[in-house]
Amino acid sequence: MKKGNKLGIVVPCYNEEEVLKDTKNKLSNLIDELIRKKKISKDSFIMFVNDGSKDKTWQLISEFNKKDKYVYGLNLAANVGHQKALLAGLIKAAELCDMSVSIDADLQDDINVIEEMIDKYQNGCDIVYGVRSNRDKDSFFKKHTALGFYKIMSIMGTNTIYNHADFRLMSKRSMEELAKYKERNLFLRGIIPLLGYKTDCVHYKRLERLAGKSKYSLKKMVSFAIEGITSFSIKPITLIGILGLIIILFSIGFVIYSIVNYFLGNVVSGWASLFCSLWFLGGVQLLSIGIIGEYIGKIYIETKERPRYNIESFLDKKTNKNK
Ligand code: UDP
Ligand code: MG
């Protein structure tokens, strides 16, 4: 049996006025084409989620909503970050469509594979991951930090799809399941594999940003990586314990060595090495407390159960002139 085929493309946008028009046109053309090929229903839509942008992003989205029959707009009351903005869009989309495709506003991910994603969905997959097969267009730095990130994630025991960002198709029921994960420390790439439905991948080449600048500075990337690890794995705390054990065994060995030397009449010399080890251990202790503190901070944030985002307004077909 053919599954429901109303598509919602969810696009989180933060200060994207430079790319938005281009992105809207490309996605509208794609929807036209997919409707022509009878892959999706005529009431499919593009939902731009404005994540508290400071530029004209929301004005543009409202204009598009009036003129373009496919464009919906979800306006968040404040900037909550990419992951939460995307979640807001997906939870809204779960009410409105049979399947969603999430994609970044800069269209660095290839929209031509969306058709293949839909075919896989029709063949029984609930989640289809877009996987980058090359990163030629990324800078050397971006490429290597990103790859290092996936490696560290897998060493730390978090199940993420290698080279997959947030470009993916999700069925209605997988979006509904996702809505049940109530955490504030949100790392979607780690949660979605936990849903456990049948999944598949499509491969594509990562392109350059259409226009505008990356919103992920080094600082944001590092905090994203820490977020990803500490939200999914307690391995770092286990490693601290193991490190502590090794240091204790090492110091016992050192005590035995000193006693033997004392009886042999060799006075232990070397203040320098003593101080080095003192500083080293001080550092290890502070680092360990810091890592544990990171988890306690997370518990603190989760226990407050604050809302993850706040919706200011929503524009759908009703406000559209050519509906
Ligand atoms: N974004 C967002 N909120 C933020 C930062 C970014 O919604 O606080 C959106 C942004 O508009 C884009 C996506 O998240 O659609 C990914 O951002 P970007 O392209 O800057 O990241 P990169 O591709 O460089 O990792
Ligand atoms: Mg990008």
| Per-residue model confidence (pLDDT) at position 210 | 67
* Residue owning the nearest CA to atom 16 of ligand 1: 104
| Per-residue model confidence (pLDDT) at position 59 | 94
* Residue owning the nearest CA to atom 2 of ligand 1: 82
Q: What is residue 50's three-state secondary structure?
A: strand
CA of 203 to the centre of ligand 2 (A): 17
For 7-215+308-315, the fitting CATH number among 3.90.550.10, 1.10.1370.40, 3.50.50.60, 3.40.50.2300 is 3.90.550.10
The predicted model scores a pTM of 0.81
Tokens 């979006």 belong to 175
* Residue owning the nearest CA to atom 23 of ligand 1: 214
In single-letter form, the type of residue at position 179 comes to: A
Q: What contacts 133, CB < 8 A, 6 or more positions away?
A: 163, 203, 204, 205
pLDDT tens by residue, 231-263? 878 788 888 888 888 888 888 888 888 788 878
Q: What is residue 265's three-state secondary structure?
A: coil
Which of 18, 26, 215, 224, when mutated, tests ligand 1's pocket best, judged by the most ligand atoms within 8 Å of its CB?
215
CA of 312 to the centre of ligand 2 (A): 25
Ligand 1 atom with the shortest distance to the CA of 165: 25
Return the structure tokens found at 39: 């892959």
CA of 159 to the centre of ligand 2 (A): 23
pLDDT of 182 above 60: yes
Return the structure tokens found at 158: 């978090």
Q: What contacts 154, CB < 8 A, 6 or more positions away?
A: 160, 162
Least confident of 39-48, 183-192, 281-290: 281-290
For residues 161-168, average pLDDT? 88
Q: What DSSP string runs through 291-323?
A: HHHHHHHHHHHHHHT--S--EEEEE-GGG-TT-
CA of 214 to the centre of ligand 1 (A): 7
Rounded to 5 degrees, φ, ψ at 313 are -160, 160
pLDDT tens by residue, 15-68? 999 999 999 999 999 999 999 999 999 999 999 999 999 999 999 999 999 999
CA of 210 to the centre of ligand 2 (A): 9
Beta carbons of 192 and 259 less than 8 angstroms apart = no
Beta carbons of 85 and 12 less than 8 angstroms apart = yes
Q: Which residues pair with 315 in a beta bridge?
A: 73
- Where are the domains positioned within the chain? 7-215+308-315, 235-304
Q: Which residues line ligand 1 (CB under 6 A)?
A: 12-14, 16, 51, 79, 81-82, 85, 104-106, 108, 214-216
Q: What is residue 290's three-state secondary structure?
A: helix
- Containing 12, the helix (H) or strand (E) segment is strand 7-13
